[in-house]
Structure 1
Amino acid sequence: MEIIVVNEQKNKTFNFIINWGVISLIILFIIAIIVLFIYGIINFARGRVDYKRLNQLTKENTIIQRDIEYLESEIKSLNILIDSLAQRDTALNHFSKLMPIKDFINEMIIEKAKGRIETDNKLSENLDKLLTRVEQQYSNNKAMVDYLNKKERLKDVIPSIPPVNGWFMRGFGYAPDPFTGTVKMHEGVDIAAPLGSPIIAPADGVVKKIQDTRDFGTVIEISHSEGIETVYAHCQNPAVRQGQSIKRGDVIAYVGTSGKTTGPHLHYEIRIDGIPVNPFDYIIPRGIVANE
């Protein structure tokens, strides 16, 4: 190819001969520049998209990490509660058949501790369920402990041992009065014993009253909890004072002959909410021999 350039001012012409090979190289060079430019634009745009995605993933990862740290903290607190419940559960197993706590939550705790949780939402949901079950078990165990503690306290306040060693003379219920022969209600039991024999408290309580009466002589009343009271009549030499707290087995007085009596003995009553009941329904009659 020949190119002629005319310069009119100098009346000169310039002839250029261009080879088709050179033209092809120039065209290819231009095309290459255009392709590189387009490729650069595409990579730049793609880089911006990747950067935004990376930034978003970083934020999401930060949130997930924060949630995991929170849940790990919750699990640590839960483990402390579980250990406490396990100790309580061990004690309760002697009295009840409650399902051991760690049997139903250990596997879930291990799964959570190792991070084998499919999603953050599922972890939170499972943890909430676990907390609910543990709180329910804690409530059940606490109720059982309260019940057992109450039973333990009742063991201390129920008059279950004889107040004196002696001989059974007269029972609870209607019987002839030894002085008048009139049939009347005998609201306790009479236990004969040598004069001066120690009278002991059959249960824990507080001395409610000490008084001298015409028929029953020196009378001591002891108030136990749960509405239980015990009464001791024909006593001598009281060893306690009104308002004093006493324990089962403490000496409260001695067998005497005060009041109207045919001989040294103890008149013993048990009252529930103020109503006399048969003492032999409550005490173990060791040390008391039936009068033959």
Structure 2
Amino acid sequence: MEIIVVNEQKNKTFNFIINWSVISLIILFIIAIIVLFIYGIINFARGKVDYKRLNQLTKENTVIQRGIEYLESEIKSLNILIDSLAQRDTAFNHFSKLIPIKDFINEMIIEKAKGRIETDNKLSENLDKLLTRVEQQYSNTKAMVDYLNKKERLKDVIPSIPPVNGWFMRGFGYAPDPFTGTVKMHEGVDIAAPLGSPIIAPADGVVKKIQYTTDFGTVIEISHSEGFETVYAHCQNPAVRQGQSIKRGDVIAYVGTSGKTTGPHLHYEIRIDGIPVNPLDYIIPRGIVANE
């Protein structure tokens, strides 16, 4: 290709010869530069978005990891409590068969250790599964712990141990009065014991009343939880005062002969919501023998 340039002022001409191959190379070079520039801009923008996304996912995974570690710690504490309670009461050993959650947590931790970064949906799905399992485990464990705690508390508030070491001389129910011979309701049991034998509280409670009556002599009434009350008659030398809180096994008085009595013994009653019940239905018979 030949190009002629004419300068009329100087009456001169200039001839240029351009090769088409050179023009093609120049055009291709310019196109290549433009393409590379556009590609670079696209990659830069994409890389910036990917970095932000990666950073966000990393932060989310860190939060989940911390949540897993916290839940693992809580579950470990609950399992320790379960084991402790199971040792104290073998009747509840079957609770130890609760579905373990540790395997599920370990699987998630292993996946994280492999450097696997999951999508939002996958992370949410796994977190929901984890929380569902934890809630189920916590609900089952809490119900068991609450039941066992209540059972443990009942051991302290139900009068299940003998108030004195001795032997039964008269039971609960209708029987002739030893002084009048009249058949009437005997609302407790009489336990014979040596004079001055210690009388203990068979359960935790509060001393409701201490009084003296003609028939029963020195009488002590103790209020317990769950509607239980206990009554101790023919006592001497009370070791407690009205309104005092007492624990199971505390000495409250001593066996005496106050009131109408044929000899030293303890008249003992258990009441539930004010109604007398047979103490033998609640006493674990240790330290007391039947009168033969």
Deviation, structure 1 residue 136:
2.7
Alpha-carbon separation, structure 1, partners of 2:20 and 2:131: 84
Q: Deviations over 1:241-290 (max 9, x none)?
A: 11111112111001111111111110001112222111111111111121
Deviation, structure 1 residue 71:
14
Question: In 2, are the aligned partners of 1:235 and 1:256 still within 8 Å (CA)?
Answer: yes
Q: How many residues are paired up?
A: 292
Listed as ranges, the matches of 1:98-177 within 5 Å are 98-116=98-116, 119-177=119-177
Query: Which stretch of the first structure deviates more once superposed, 219-228 or 58-67?
Result: 58-67
Q: Label 1:175 to 1:69 Cα distance change in 2 as closer, same or farther (>3 A).
A: closer
Deviation, structure 1 residue 184:
1.4
* Secondary structure, aligned partner of 1:195: coil
Q: Deviations over 1:28-73 (max 9, x none)?
A: 9999999999999999999999999999999999999999999999
Q: Label 1:72 to 1:11 Cα distance change in 2 as closer, same or farther (>3 A).
A: farther
Query: Which stretch of the first structure deviates more once superposed, 206-215 or 49-58?
Result: 49-58
Question: In 2, are the aligned partners of 1:162 and 1:283 still within 8 Å (CA)?
Answer: yes
Q: Label 1:113 to 1:163 Cα distance change in 2 as closer, same or farther (>3 A).
A: same
Question: In 2, are the aligned partners of 1:194 and 1:265 still within 8 Å (CA)?
Answer: yes
Query: Which stretch of the first structure deviates more once superposed, 106-115 or 209-218?
Result: 106-115
Question: In 1, are the aligned partners of 2:99 and 2:137 still within 8 Å (CA)?
Answer: no
| Coordinate RMSD, CA, aligned | 6.5
Question: In 1, are the aligned partners of 2:196 and 2:256 still within 8 Å (CA)?
Answer: yes
Query: Which stretch of the first structure deviates more once superposed, 226-235 or 115-124?
Result: 115-124
Deviation, structure 1 residue 158:
1.6
Deviation, structure 1 residue 237:
0.7
Q: Normalization by structure 1: what TM-score? A: 0.69
* Secondary structure, aligned partner of 2:95: coil
Deviation, structure 1 residue 165:
1.0
Question: In 2, are the aligned partners of 1:86 and 1:101 still within 8 Å (CA)?
Answer: no
Deviation, structure 1 residue 106:
2.7
Alpha-carbon separation, structure 2, partners of 1:260 and 1:102: 67
Alpha-carbon separation, structure 1, partners of 2:19 and 2:78: 87
Alpha-carbon separation, structure 1, partners of 2:3 and 2:25: 18
Q: Deviations over 1:63-111 (max 9, x none)?
A: 9999999999999999999999999999996864322331443323433
Deviation, structure 1 residue 154:
0.9
Gaps of 5+ in 2: none
Deviation, structure 1 residue 114:
3.6
Q: Normalization by structure 2: what TM-score? A: 0.69
Identity of aligned residues (%): 96
Deviation, structure 1 residue 162:
0.8
Question: In 2, are the aligned partners of 1:172 and 1:189 still within 8 Å (CA)?
Answer: yes
Q: Label 1:160 to 1:237 Cα distance change in 2 as closer, same or farther (>3 A).
A: same
Alpha-carbon separation, structure 1, partners of 2:126 and 2:269: 59
